[in-house]
Amino acid sequence: MSVPAPRPKAVVLVSGGMDSAVTLAEAVAAGFDAFALSFDYGQRHRIELEAAARVAASLGARRHVTLRIDLRAFGGSALTADIAVPKDRLGHGVAETEIPVTYVPARNTIFLSFALAWAETLGAHDLFIGVNAIDYSGYPDCRPDFVSAFERLANLATREGVEGRRFTVHTPLLRLGKADIVRRGGELGVDFGLTFTCYDPQGPSAATRPCGHCDACTLRAEGFREAGRPDPVSG
């Protein structure tokens, strides 16, 4: 009896939120052996890491690694410094014109760089990230131009790339709205009840709940509402 060929490996960035959960599910559905990568970077919503572990386990990640890098040493963001998280901001004409204070300087560049390093050690040539260019909070590192530029960098800055084994950065959610992401997650069997989406969680760790008013909460709520489905986390 023939032995099935090994599945290609991919490194998938997994935050614990709904977008990264669907991205991991897409990688698995595409036939990749998924290696999930999360970051404890000093974020105020660190509870998302518990969700990331749940998501990675439920979707069959081959391995899940959480790296610790302290971006609080730099600050500059409401997620990594003592700066208030904006509430009820979306829908008031500011989302498309301002980069919000929840933007963490160079975060996706940093995260993808670590993913690239791990991929090269694994012999993987595929990276997955759940960036979205439609329903997002105005972050510059979620744009298609950024993704294309990083892919070019990956193939210039690595031994694998120079020797002709090219890297691809996959962005399966790039052109999807939040409602579409909810629907796609349902098709892929994602349990959204395992995810956590909030920039400013409320309550002690054992009973932490989303604030319901930050950009992340607002976009998630709109996505489930437009998809005509209840959010299993907030009801």
* DSSP output for 57-87: HHTT-SEEEEEE--GGGT--STTTSS-PPP-
- Tell if the pTM clears 0.75, that is, is over it: yes
pLDDT at 39: 98
pLDDT at 235: 54
Three-state secondary structure call for residue 158:
coil
Q: Which residues, listed in sequence order, are joined to residue 64 by a DSSP beta bridge?
A: 36
Mean pLDDT computed over every residue of the chain: 92
Nearest of 69, 66, 85, 87 to residue 16 by alpha carbon: 66
pLDDT at 1: 58
Which domains are present in the chain? Answer: 9-227 (3.40.50.620)
More confident residue, 13 or 234: 13
Residue 149 has pLDDT above 90, yes or no: yes
Percent of the residues in the chain that have a pLDDT greater than 70, as a whole number: 91
Tens digit of each residue's pLDDT (9 = 90 or more) over 90-138: 654 444 557 889 999 999 999 999 999 999 999 999 999 999 887 656 7
Tens digit of each residue's pLDDT (9 = 90 or more) over 66-92: 999 999 999 999 999 999 999 987 654
The residue assigned the tokens 């932490």 is 208
Rounded Cα distance between 210 and 90, Å, is 17
